[in-house]
């Protein structure tokens, strides 16, 4: 509770700092505050509160994910110092909205009551509706905000309807009670519909097919830093909530079948459509959809190893994604705002280390050996086989092989000889973030035990 209050107050403090000419203080104050919140989580000081009445559970699962969310936000804010350097207006509001959204994410990883889950989704989402339209003079940004708001509102409505139906059948919002009720509710149609609509709301947040339509347009239209925040912090929090909901729950057969179909269709559409993408943000959007499919494979069986596999996969995916969006911003500036993948052409000639780091990050997302992404995918495949989903796992392996192509396509551009590569201006903090991400995916690929739940 103390960490949630600290982050909420920190967001308000940043808004007050925005009144004066204190733009240079925003990111440092936010980062120090986030590290303070992390220290509160790690130490456990005043984290549990009797005022919550057991509606939030800060157990080992939630503390691990909360620590990951905070550290990812710190990485993004380090990137934000350079990203917002030339922006004169609304900088404080951008940081504050991301912090408010982070509070929703922290609630999502820790809920033990369905009402808190819904509150977490709304606190997470409402700031994002505003952030997606952060480029006020851009038609694409306005379109992204409108589409995200419209579809997100419907998803929230479905989720609220689902929670109401679950309550109507189980007579409780308490997660443990609902999970216990699920074992004896195989023929209860109200409960079945409630679970369906609740899962549909969460599937929207993780961009699982067929609830993925918002993702490519919003990724493309939103400011790059916001896109990076959505594809890392938001995705991680939503998956943590998704698993917390269905963990220990004996899912009805129809819901289990729905999850299997969702897994297969998400794997197929994400990887196949990504093959046709030449705009980098849209490519990353479909890549994110494809990774959602791999993560859903881990959900299909109740296994004690699933939380650890989920945590490792999401953390390593987020680290690689943050680094790539920083590189995109640098290349985009050099190309006067172009986001086509050809803006990376000649990168190795102009900035060799940057090209090598980009290659490592893309190879990790592709799941190539000696990178963290390979370990993450391997663990998911082993889990799928152990739970008896041989056919779906084999299909996932094929889709992983297909997915290598569109990552290699970007690597080819970076290493294509060109007389004059992009003239990049790289701030020291951006070097730090990119180097950290590039080295981390290799170190975690060689020493995966460094990250455990």
Counted domains in the chain? 1
Residue 451 DSSP symbol: S
Rounded Cα–Cα distance for residues 351 and 334 (Å): 13
Q: Is the pLDDT of residue 224 over 70?
A: yes
Sign of CA dihedral 38, 43, 47, 48: positive
Lowest mean pLDDT among 15-19, 43-47, 173-177: 43-47
Whether 187 is covered by a domain: the verdict is: no
Q: Is the pLDDT of residue 390 over 80?
A: yes
Rounded Cα–Cα distance for residues 220 and 435 (Å): 25
Q: Which residues contact 346 (CB under 8 A, 6 or more apart)?
A: 416, 417, 418, 419, 420, 421, 422
Whether 128 is covered by a domain: the verdict is: no
Whether 55 is covered by a domain: the verdict is: no
pLDDT digits (tens, 9 = 90+) for 142-166: 888 898 999 999 999 999 999 999 9
pLDDT digits (tens, 9 = 90+) for 345-361: 888 888 889 999 999 99
* Phi–psi pair at 183, nearest 5 degrees: -65, -25
Lowest mean pLDDT among 98-112, 243-257, 322-336: 243-257
Query: Which pLDDT band holds residue 233 (cuts at 50, 70, 90)?
Result: very high
Residue 187 DSSP symbol: T
Q: Which domain holds residue 438?
A: 251-453
Residues in the chain: 453
Query: Which pLDDT band holds residue 243 (cuts at 50, 70, 90)?
Result: very high
- Closest-CA residue to 7 (of 24, 26, 28, 32): 32
Segment 319-340 shows an average pLDDT of: 90
Whether 364 is covered by a domain: the verdict is: yes
Query: What is the overall mean pLDDT for the chain?
Result: 90
Which pLDDT score, from 0 to 100, does residue 419 have?
Answer: 66
Whether 383 is covered by a domain: the verdict is: yes
Phi-psi region of 58 (alpha: psi -120 to 50; beta: other; left: phi over 0): beta
Distances (CA, A) of 424 to 83, 139, 303, 328, 355: 14, 27, 47, 11, 12
The Cβ of residue 250 has, within 10 Å, a number of other Cβ atoms equal to 15
Segment 308-333 shows an average pLDDT of: 94
Q: Is the pLDDT of residue 22 over 80?
A: no
What number of CA atoms fall less than 13 Å from residue 357's CA on the CB side? 25
Segment 264-276 shows an average pLDDT of: 94
Rounded Cα–Cα distance for residues 16 and 350 (Å): 41
Which pLDDT score, from 0 to 100, does residue 57 have?
Answer: 86
The Cβ of residue 425 has, within 10 Å, a number of other Cβ atoms equal to 9
Whether 323 is covered by a domain: the verdict is: yes
pLDDT digits (tens, 9 = 90+) for 6-16: 999 999 999 98
pLDDT digits (tens, 9 = 90+) for 38-96: 999 888 777 777 777 778 888 889 999 999 999 999 999 999 998 888 776 778 899 99
Rounded Cα–Cα distance for residues 296 and 3 (Å): 30
Whether 363 is covered by a domain: the verdict is: yes
Whether 1 is covered by a domain: the verdict is: no
Q: Dihedral of the CA atoms 234, 239, 240, 241 (nearest 10)?
A: 90
Which pLDDT score, from 0 to 100, does residue 48 have?
Answer: 73
Q: Name the packing angle between helices 2-17 and 23-43 (round to 10°).
A: 180
Sign of CA dihedral 369, 442, 434, 68: positive
């Amino acid at each position: 509770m103390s960490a949630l209050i600290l982050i909420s107050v920190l967001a308000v403090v940043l808004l007050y700092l925005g009144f004066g000419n204190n733009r240079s203080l925003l990111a440092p104050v936010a980062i120090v505050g986030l590290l303070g919140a992390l220290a509160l989580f790690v130490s456990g000081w005043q984290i549990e509160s009797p005022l919550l009445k057991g509606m939030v559970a800060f157990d080992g699962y939630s503390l691990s994910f909360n620590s990951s969310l905070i550290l990812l936000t710190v990485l993004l804010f380090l990137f934000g110092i350079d990203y917002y350097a030339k922006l004169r207006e609304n900088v404080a509001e951008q940081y504050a909205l991301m912090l408010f959204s982070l509070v929703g994410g922290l609630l999502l990883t820790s809920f033990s009551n369905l009402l808190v889950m819904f509150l977490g989704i709304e606190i997470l989402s409402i700031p994002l509706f505003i952030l997606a339209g952060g480029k006020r003079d851009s038609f694409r940004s306005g379109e992204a905000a409108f589409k995200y708001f419209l579809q997100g509102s419907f998803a929230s409505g479905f989720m609220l309807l689902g929670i109401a139906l679950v309550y109507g059948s189980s007579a409780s919002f308490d997660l443990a009670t609902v999970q216990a009720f699920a074992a004896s509710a195989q023929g209860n149609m109200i409960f079945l519909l409630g679970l369906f609509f609740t899962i549909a709301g969460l599937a929207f947040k993780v961009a699982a097919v067929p609830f993925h339509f918002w993702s490519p347009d919003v990724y493309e239209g939103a400011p790059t830093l916001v896109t990076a925040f959505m594809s890392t912090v938001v995705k991680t929090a939503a998956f943590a909530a998704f698993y917390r909901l269905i963990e220990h729950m004996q899912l009805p057969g129809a819901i289990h079948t729905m999850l299997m179909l969702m897994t297969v269709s998400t794997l197929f559409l994400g990887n196949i459509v990504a093959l046709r993408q030449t705009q980098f943000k849209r490519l990353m959007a479909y890549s994110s959809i494809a990774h959602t499919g791999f993560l859903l494979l881990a959900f299909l069986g109740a296994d004690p190893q699933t939380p650890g596999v989920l945590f490792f996969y999401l953390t390593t995916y987020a680290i690689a994604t943050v680094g790539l969006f920083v590189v995109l911003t640098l290349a985009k500036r050099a190309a006067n705002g172009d986001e086509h993948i050809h803006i990376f052409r000649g990168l190795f000639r102009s900035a060799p280390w940057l090209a090598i780091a980009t290659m490592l990050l893309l190879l990790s997302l592709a799941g190539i050996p000696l990178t963290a992404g390979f370990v993450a995918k391997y663990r998911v495949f082993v889990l799928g086989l152990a739970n008896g989903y041989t056919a779906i796992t084999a299909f996932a392996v094929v889709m992983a092989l297909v997915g290598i192509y569109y990552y290699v396509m970007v690597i080819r551009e970076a290493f294509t000889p060109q007389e004059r590569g992009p003239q990049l201006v790289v701030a020291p903090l951006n070097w730090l973030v990119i180097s950290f991400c590039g080295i981390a995916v290799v170190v975690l690929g060689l020493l995966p035990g460094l990250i455990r739940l």
